[in-house]
Amino acid sequence: MVPFDLAVWLGVAATLIALERLVPMHPGQAMLRSGWKIDLMHLVLSGAVIRLGGTLAVVGLSLLAVSVVPESVRDLVRSQPDLLEFVELLLLSDLCFYIAHRICHAVPFLWRFHAVHHSSEHLDWLASYRVHPVDQILNSAFIALPAVVLGFSPVAVIAYSLLYRLHAPFLHSNIGTDFGPLRHIVASPRFHHWHHANTPEAYDKNFSGQLAIFDKLFGTLNLPDGAPRRYGVDDGVPATYAGQILQPFMAAKSGPSPVQAAQNAAVGR
């Protein structure tokens, strides 16, 4: 991590740990719960690979955008007020996140990588970093499409990037909030915990990153009362860091996505 990244991470960690102690979703959950060492390895080791892969993906998208999108379009986007650009970028990027996220759950090959993220049996701020590099790089590239292709201004891009980096660990945190009257608009920890719930009625729900409006719009919103009692997956994701990185590449038949598992159970297969 560069000094700025480390400073941001330490600030986020300190704030979320304090809030998890003050207003926990699961009061009995220990800070050093099972799996925290694996998540820390993902943060440090996978994070380095993701930053490199994400940078290369953005460079590739930029080269493509120059040859495909007229400069007049990019100039028009950048001529808008910074606040309007930020709102547009937030909506477009979160829509891309929603689409990419649904695809990762629906396509067995991609689910094999995404299942690593869902394998955490206890959620807190640190669990947000348990991601397979292939999964995260692909998703990051998809999320970056609007910013790179349409040429949003650096101010809007930096503001959205900071929001994403702060909001992701917050969504996974053990903080018991759903934002009350805004719960169908802004994604909250309770909203995202139900996405991770390992129970059939929660499968393939709550795909949005920052804005719950897309789940509301496309009929995938699920916000029951209370918090999930069970997290994780039944696809046999290894309990070691090396296993989680290597298994998705293996030729063995991949496990079903959550929706496929639910459908199989419904018909008795």
**Model pLDDT for residues 80-128, shown as the tens digit of each residue:** 999 999 999 999 999 999 999 999 999 999 999 999 999 999 999 999 9
C-alpha dist (Å) from residue 18 to 32, 124, 163: 14, 12, 20
Asked if the model's pLDDT at residue 224 lies above 80, the reply is yes
- Residue 211 φ/ψ, nearest 5 degrees: -120, 115
Q: What pLDDT score does 236 carry?
A: 83
| Residue 18: per-residue pLDDT | 96
Q: What is the pLDDT of residue 266?
A: 39
Residue 237 near residue 244 (C-beta atoms within 8 A): yes
For residue 254, pLDDT beyond 50: no
Note whether 8 and 93 are within 8 A (CB). Answer: no
More confident position, 258 or 116: 116
Amino acid at position 119, single letter:
S
Residue bearing the bigger pLDDT, 76 or 64 = 76
Query: Which residues lie across from 197 on neighbouring strands?
Result: 231
Q: Which residue has the higher pLDDT, 9 or 175?
A: 175
Spatial separation of the C-alpha atoms in residues 227 and 249, rounded to whole Å? 33
Top pLDDT among 251 and 173 is at 173
Q: Which residues of 53-82 are buried (b: 16+ CB within 10 A; e: fewer)?
A: bbeebbeebeeebeeeeeeeebeebbeeee
Question: In this structure, are residues 143 and 93 in contact, taking their beta carbons and an 8 Å threshold?
Answer: yes
CA distances from 80 to 74, 108, 162, 190, 197 (A): 11, 41, 20, 35, 41
Closest CA to 31 of 5, 8, 13, 10: 13
Q: In whole numbers, what is the pLDDT of the chain averaged over residues? A: 90
Mean pLDDT, to the nearest integer, of 3-31?
90
Least confident of 25-34, 66-75, 136-145, 237-246: 66-75
Confidence category of residue 164, pLDDT binned at 50, 70, 90:
very high
DSSP 3-state of 221: coil
**Above pLDDT 90, what percent of the chain?**
78
Place of tokens 């699961």: 26
Do residues 247 and 215 touch, judged by C-beta distance below 8 A? Answer: no
Cα distances (angstroms) measured from residue 85 to each of 65, 91, 151, 152, 268: 18, 10, 10, 7, 50
Confidence of residue 231 (pLDDT cuts 50, 70, 90): very high
Tokens 């950048």 appear where?
Answer: 78
CA distance linking residue 41 with residue 116, whole number of Å: 13
What does the block give as tokens for 81? 């007020």
**Alpha-carbon span 254 to 62, nearest angstrom:** 33
**Arithmetic mean of pLDDT, 210-220:** 96
Tell me what the mean pLDDT of segment 1-19 comes to: 84
Residue entry with tokens 């007020």? 81
Say how far apart CA 47 and CA 1 lie, in whole Å: 9
Q: What is the pLDDT of residue 1?
A: 59
